[in-house]
Amino acid sequence: MSDVQGLERRTFGALPDGRAVEIVHLRAQGIEARVLTYGATLQALLVPDREGRVDDIVLGHDDLDGYVAARSFYGATIGRYANRIAGGTFSIDGERFQVPANDGPNALHGGPDGFDRQLWEIAGTGEGAEPFVRLSRTSPDGECGFPGRLDVDVTYRVRAGELEIAFEARTDRSTVVNLTNHAFFNLGGTERLTDILGHELTIEADEFLSVGEGAIPVGGPADVAGTAFDFREATPVGTRVRAAEEQIRQGRGYDHNWCLRGAAGGKPRLAATLRHPSNGRVMELLTDQSGVQFYSGNFLDGTSVGKNGLTYRMGDALCLEPQLYPDTPNRPDFPSARLDPGATYRHRSLYRFKHA
């Protein structure tokens, strides 16, 4: 990681149709983020440990072909609707809409051609102590079955020891929106990859959502107390990941939404803390969203070859995805995902790094 602050743009490759994909390096004190225009993707995130050693802590690929060949969501922007919609169908004001099913009978992460499979445009950049890149795209009315033209911006910004990801969206027709970033984290670094079972995790939530088959929420928020889902105090990820609980069996580990304390939509508040006990890296996630999806890398199966020629296997990384609750368009008791003309969808999350 260079000590030079600022921004650098390079060509990362070309899509099969010849369109160029860029990579943008954002550097500030103690952090470097690399962002692709394909999928508005966080391709790399470099931070130091307590000894000053710098590692890339997110999974991904070293070249564009890896991202195009297989849909693995590494670091990608997810939309129009992150997580699952039961049956791929929902209603707005009595009108029914169908999103193609791509996860069994359900729609996952926007359907088969979500935002992670699209080429975004660089709409703005900034240098100095807080360099940023703003990526934009227009999702046309009816794309993947969703109503309304949606104009979307994603801004990546770095400042001393912190990455900010901010989303905005506007529509010309009532629709549903739920955007997130799908980074796969390993605070031990991606060069000498070891599993994340020893990572210590805290989640600022007293409740989570139980799921049925297909990982669709059933019932309302459930108390974490006395279950494998209690991360109110720092707990190694592997402590209960094989617990004899039905919810763990359902997802082969953790793939659930935690209902965060505090009101959504205001100033980002602490949602989760992740710590590597050996190298001392600590990541704090702050968000203005109502929930966070914790996924323990259960379906990484060795078929994906990532950075440094390594295959990614079960438990090699975890995801903490700030977002609305799953299947919200079909659950009027959940925080609403509806966006109407004249309103602006906003989502702001901060990833703060330190060492202890």
> Catalytic residue positions?
182, 321
Tell me the C-alpha distance between 98 and 107, whole Å: 9
- Between the alpha carbon of residue 12 and those of residues 9, 15, 240, 294, the distances in Å are 9, 10, 40, 30
Tell me the C-alpha distance between 169 and 81, whole Å: 12
Tokens standing for 244?
Answer: 């004899």
Q: Cite the DSSP H helix spans in 94-137.
A: none
In the chain, % helix, strand, coil (3-state, to 5) comes to: 10, 45, 45
- Between the alpha carbon of residue 219 and those of residues 212, 215, 327, the distances in Å are 10, 12, 12
Q: Are 27 and 15 in contact (CB under 8 A)?
A: no
Query: Could you give phi then psi for residue 354, rounded to 5 degrees?
Result: -150, -175
Tokens standing for 322?
Answer: 């700030």
Q: Cite the DSSP H helix spans in the chain.
A: 64-69, 246-251
Q: Are 34 and 159 in contact (CB under 8 A)?
A: no
The position carrying tokens 């470097």 is 32
Q: How far is CA 248 from the centre of its chain?
A: 21
Tell me the C-alpha distance between 219 and 155, whole Å: 35
> Strand, coil or helix: what is 308?
helix
Q: Which residues contact 114 (CB under 8 A, 6 or more apart)?
A: 78, 79, 80, 144
